């Protein structure tokens, strides 16, 4: 069989870019499908052809299998690469692709179906002689029976969506009293995310390490593994850092789990790239006696596949295309070797200082690290807008080195040289994690981030950073005033014009600025060199010149100041906003633009402080809104299902 001449990519962002790059190298033409907000995105510009398939919400674009298949037929693509997420693990879609006479670049729909549900996958693994986490994976979904089974399994238990992925629909429950509420919320999240609210129960593994094995199968019954990855650094069951090989892995344990992974793949006649995930019980060295359990198989390429590529020197997307085209696996097991160590960090548009709330909006300045041993897979460029419709991952930084210490050093350095102005990112948080002593010693488990969260909080911004930003805003304001006054002045020397404006103005001036949205008082002293700004209660900074490693972006408000991988946004208060609004203590606002997935209260209901009022769903996450105080719901300003803006009023409490 021959290699495809044209493929369609049913995905977006960094993974679409990644697939196009390999296709191009192989001489395969590419078709991108885009939603309206993704018009002009880097992956769309890179593709040979672009077909627009619908508006922003994934349900109306990237999840519309029929539109995607129609686009493939219209452009003459012979195969569809689903990337990950979206339709990648949707067997009905894979079926429909086949019925349309196209090749789905992935396993057979049957293999996807059998491994897709966590319950059946566990049964298949067990039959293949692979240990699975003890629990309940039965048919019955009755709350009463599930509660009884949870007791039998023994608390703490993990409730998991059978159709789950990306950490969604998963709840850890400590005891009987919390079970019913956790079940209900897991089911609701699973229903919304996967259209399937079935759950299973598992014993909670203590101090687990997440170790997974990359497998590959072809149409000629060959299956190989490409070693393991350790993805123990997680936050809320979602991967943050991934590495290969697993630190401390001993040869015997590696032999056992890689053989188990290959057995799972063979059990379903697996073709293409897949990942078999395991939990290892108890932190520390991965000795031969350590208990290990299968948890699931992902029937697709994985987000963290670059670390495997780095240590094996192979291109997994190329392997996917070859295998889908009917070729044999390029290498036998004996020919696959690994070298050195690789670590990947997921750069997300989110705010670690505000409970990792996703951050949207335009990227006004972007610098991605490059250098020896560094790889950056990005889906954005300067000017890209982070939209609320998709997940918050914007790039992956992957460092490879001769050993783990070298990879860590390169990754830390790469993060220091990464700069994103506009949306907030987790770069500083990732840096703190990568340079954390326990991580350096390889003492990782899935609870590490949770336990160390306070210590991983980004350092305070360098003193003076705010001053630099405010000075920029003042200069911008003065320039605007000068232009408006009809005295253009000397463009090369705006301060000559400004001096005139200052005549009669007080030498010292108090101003209010918004520092990350918080009104902050500053004092401005006008000097011959321009404004010298001090934040009340902080030592003056600007006069001493810029502190090291500070970058200010923007010539007028808003100004973004970055230092130590952390950003503050400075702006003038807008007096229009807030006028006629309810005082903070009585209102519930949407923290982010998204969809109002659930409203728990009705007008007139009494709530206690901290009660759940509503859930906003945005960027693959649920954000629960709580009552700011006790009181009566006076007004509901939005309805379930509504699309809400950031800061939108959701509910108001009556005055007491
Ligand atoms: P992995 O196990 O490989 O880490 P996850 O299940 O965490 O993968 O995530 C899969 C990926 O799906 C996300 O990182 C993201 O790139 C992609 N994705 C983007 N938007 C969506 C969406 N609306 N629904 C599902 N997946 C999405
Ligand atoms: P998903 O499909 O969302 O990726 P997984 O079953 O792979 O779900 O689990 C994701 C993560 O959740 C694991 O890597 C682990 O950190 C945690 N987890 C899952 N099951 C258990 C368990 N039984 N005990 C402890 N942690 C678990
Ligand atoms: Mg998983």
196 with 273, same domain: the answer is no
Going from the Cα of 281 to the center of ligand 3, the distance in angstroms, rounded, reads 16
> Is the shortest distance between the CB of 620 and ligand 1 below 6 Å?
yes
pLDDT digits (tens, 9 = 90+) for 529-563: 888 898 877 765 544 555 567 899 999 999 999 98
469 with 451, same domain: the answer is no
Measured by CA distance, the residue closest to atom 21 of ligand 2 is: 204
> Which ligand 2 atom is the nearest neighbour of the CA of 293?
23
pLDDT digits (tens, 9 = 90+) for 402-449: 999 999 999 999 999 999 999 999 999 999 999 999 999 999 999 999
Q: Which domain holds residue 625?
A: 587-653
Of 114, 300, 375, 566, which one is the catalytic site residue? 300
Mutate to test the pocket of ligand 1, among 14, 35, 86 (most ligand atoms within 8 A of CB): 86
224 with 334, same domain: the answer is yes
Active site residue 172: no
Going from the Cα of 118 to the center of ligand 3, the distance in angstroms, rounded, reads 10
Mutate to test the pocket of ligand 2, among 84, 168, 208 (most ligand atoms within 8 A of CB): 208
Residue 121 lies in a domain: no
Mutate to test the pocket of ligand 2, among 131, 170, 201 (most ligand atoms within 8 A of CB): 170
Task: Compute the distance between CA of residue 2 and CA of residue 372 in angstroms, rounded to an integer.
Answer: 35
> Which ligand 1 atom is the nearest neighbour of the CA of 231?
4
286 with 155, same domain: the answer is no
Residue 255 lies in a domain: yes
285 with 398, same domain: the answer is yes
> Which ligand 1 atom is the nearest neighbour of the CA of 239?
4
Domain boundary pick from 456, 491, 512? 456
Written as six digits, the tokens of 594 are 């998204």
CATH number at residue 77: 3.40.50.20
Say which ligand is closest to the CA of 160. Answer: 2
535 with 469, same domain: the answer is yes
What mean pLDDT comes out for the span 446-469? 86
Residue 125 lies in a domain: no
Pairing of β 103-104 and β 79-81: parallel
**pLDDT score for 487:** 64
Residue 275 lies in a domain: yes
Domain boundary pick from 84, 105, 126? 105
Measured by CA distance, the residue closest to atom 26 of ligand 1 is: 85
- Whether the upstream peptide bond of residue 558 has omega within 30° of 0, thus cis, is yes
What residues pair up with 515 in beta bridges, in sequence order?
Answer: 518, 570
CATH number at residue 240: 3.30.470.20
Cβ burial of 576 (10 Å; 0-12, 13-18, 19+) is exposed
Q: Tell which phi-psi region holds residue 237, choosing left (phi > 0), alpha (psi between -120 and 50) or beta.
A: left
197 with 216, same domain: the answer is no
Task: Compute the distance between CA of residue 592 and CA of residue 615 in angstroms, rounded to an integer.
Answer: 11
**pLDDT score for 498:** 47
In this structure, are residues 380 and 386 in contact, taking their beta carbons and an 8 Å threshold? Answer: yes
Domain boundary pick from 89, 105, 121? 105
CATH number at residue 154: 3.30.1490.20
Residue 115 lies in a domain: no
Residue 582 lies in a domain: no
541 with 592, same domain: the answer is no
Task: Report the domain count for the chain.
Answer: 5
Greatest mean pLDDT among 97-101, 495-499, 568-572, 626-630 lies in: 97-101
> Is the shortest distance between the CB of 237 and ligand 2 below 6 Å?
yes
Measured by CA distance, the residue closest to atom 4 of ligand 1 is: 303
Among 228-242, 435-449, 612-626, name the one with the lowest average pLDDT. 612-626
CATH number at residue 543: 3.30.700
> Is the shortest distance between the CB of 133 and ligand 2 below 6 Å?
yes
296 with 372, same domain: the answer is yes
Task: Compute the distance between CA of residue 319 and CA of residue 200 in angstroms, rounded to an integer.
Answer: 34
Task: Compute the distance between CA of residue 409 and CA of residue 404 in angstroms, rounded to an integer.
Answer: 9
Residue 127 lies in a domain: no
pLDDT digits (tens, 9 = 90+) for 272-325: 999 999 999 987 678 888 999 999 999 999 999 999 999 999 999 999 999 999
516 with 400, same domain: the answer is no
Say which ligand is closest to the CA of 209. Answer: 2
Measured by CA distance, the residue closest to atom 12 of ligand 2 is: 237
Mean pLDDT value across the chain? 91
Mutate to test the pocket of ligand 2, among 115, 135, 295 (most ligand atoms within 8 A of CB): 295
How many CB atoms lie under 10 A from the CB of residue 556? Answer: 15
Cβ burial of 495 (10 Å; 0-12, 13-18, 19+) is middle
Task: Compute the distance between CA of residue 88 and CA of residue 162 in angstroms, rounded to an integer.
Answer: 16
Going from the Cα of 182 to the center of ligand 1, the distance in angstroms, rounded, reads 23
Going from the Cα of 237 to the center of ligand 2, the distance in angstroms, rounded, reads 6
> Which ligand 2 atom is the nearest neighbour of the CA of 170?
3
255 with 161, same domain: the answer is no
Q: Contacts by 629-634 with C-beta closer than 8 Å and gap 24+?
A: 629/585, 629/586, 629/653, 630/606, 631/586, 631/606, 631/607, 631/656, 632/604, 632/605, 632/606, 632/607, 633/601, 633/602, 633/603, 633/604, 633/605, 633/606, 633/607, 634/603
> Is the shortest distance between the CB of 225 and ligand 1 below 6 Å?
no
Residue 579 lies in a domain: no
> Is the shortest distance between the CB of 389 and ligand 1 below 6 Å?
no
pLDDT digits (tens, 9 = 90+) for 120-152: 999 999 999 999 999 999 999 999 999 999 999
- Whether the upstream peptide bond of residue 80 has omega within 30° of 0, thus cis, is no
Residue 500 has pLDDT above 60, yes or no: no
Taking a 5 Å cut-off on Cβ, the residues next to ion ligand 3 are 277
381 with 423, same domain: the answer is yes
**pLDDT score for 496:** 45
Say whether 221 sits in a helix, a strand or coil. Answer: coil
DSSP 8-state code for residue 498: H
């Amino acid at each position: 069989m021959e290699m495809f001449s044209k493929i369609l990519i049913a995905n977006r962002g960094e993974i679409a870019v990644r697939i196009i790059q390999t296709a191009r190298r192989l001489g395969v033409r590419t078709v991108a499908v885009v939603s309206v907000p993704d018009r002009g995105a880097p992956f769309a510009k890179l593709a040979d052809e672009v077909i627009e398939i619908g508006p922003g919400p994934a349900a109306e674009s990237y999840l519309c299998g029929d539109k995607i298949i129609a686009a493939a037929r219209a452009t003459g693509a012979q195969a569809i690469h689903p990337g990950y997420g979206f339709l990648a693990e949707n067997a009905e879609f894979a079926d429909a692709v086949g019925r349309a006479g196209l090749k789905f670049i992935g396993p057979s729909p049957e293999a996807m179906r059998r491994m897709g549900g966590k319950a059946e996958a566990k049964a298949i693994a067990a039959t293949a002689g692979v240990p699975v986490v003890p629990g309940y994976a039965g048919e019955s979904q009755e709350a009463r029976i599930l509660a009884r089974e949870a007791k039998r399994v023994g608390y703490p238990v993990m409730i998991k969506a059978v159709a789950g992925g990306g950490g969604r629909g998963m709840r850890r429950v400590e005891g009987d009293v919390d079970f019913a509420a956790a079940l209900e919320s897991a089911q609701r999240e699973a229903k919304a995310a996967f259209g399937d609210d079935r759950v299973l129960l598992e014993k909670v593994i203590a101090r687990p390490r997440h170790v997974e094995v990359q497998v590959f199968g072809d149409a000629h019954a060959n299956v190989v593994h490409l070693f393991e990855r350790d993805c123990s650094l997680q936050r809320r069951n979602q991967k943050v850092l991934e590495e290969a090989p697993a630190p401390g892995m001993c040869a015997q344990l590696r032999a056992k789990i890689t053989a188990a992974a290959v057995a799972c793949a063979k059990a379903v006649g697996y073709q293409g790239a897949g990942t078999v995930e395991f939990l290892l019980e108890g932190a520390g060295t991965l000795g031969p006696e350590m208990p290990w359990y299968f948890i699931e198989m992902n029937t697709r390429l994985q987000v963290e596949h670059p670390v495997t590529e780095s240590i094996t020197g192979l291109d997994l997307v190329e392997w996917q295309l070859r295998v889908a085209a009917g070729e044999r696996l390029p290498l036998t097991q004996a020919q696959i070797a690994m070298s050195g160590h690789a670590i990947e960090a997921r750069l997300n548009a989110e705010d670690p200082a505000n409970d990792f709330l996703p951050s949207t909006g335009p990227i006004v300045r972007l610098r991605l690290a490059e250098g020896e041993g560094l790889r950056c897979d990005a889906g954005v460029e300067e000017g890209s807008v982070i939209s609320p419709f998709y997940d918050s991952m914007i790039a992956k930084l992957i460092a490879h080195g001769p050993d783990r210490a070298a990879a860590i050093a390169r990754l830390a350095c790469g993060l220091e040289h990464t700069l994103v102005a506009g949306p907030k990112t987790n770069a500083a948080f990732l840096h703190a994690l990568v340079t954390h002593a326990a991580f350096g010693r390889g003492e990782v488990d899935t609870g590490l981030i949770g336990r160390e969260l306070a210590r991983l909080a980004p350092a305070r911004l360098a003193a003076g950073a705010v001053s630099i930003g405010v000075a920029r805003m003042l200069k911008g304001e003065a320039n605007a005033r000068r232009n408006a006054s009809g005295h253009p002045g000397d463009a090369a020397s705006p301060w000559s014009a400004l001096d005139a404006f200052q005549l009669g103005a007080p030498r010292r001036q108090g101003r209010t600025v918004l520092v990350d949205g918080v009104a902050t008082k500053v004092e401005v002293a006008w000097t011959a060199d321009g404004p010298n700004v001090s934040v009340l209660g902080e030592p003056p900074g600007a006069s001493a010149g810029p502190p090291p490693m500070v970058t200010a972006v923007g010539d007028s408000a808003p100004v973004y100041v970055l230092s130590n991988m952390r950003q503050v946004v400075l702006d003038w208060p807008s007096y229009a906003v807030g006028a006629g609004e309810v005082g903070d203590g009585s209102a519930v606002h949407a923290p982010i633009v998204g969809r109002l997935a659930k409203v728990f209260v009705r007008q007139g209901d009494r709530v206690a402080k901290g009660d759940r009022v509503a859930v906003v769903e945005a960027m693959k996450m649920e954000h629960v809104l709580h009552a700011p105080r006790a009181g009566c719901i006076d007004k509901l300003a939005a309805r379930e299902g509504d699309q809400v803006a950031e800061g939108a009023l959701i509910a108001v409490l009556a005055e007491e």
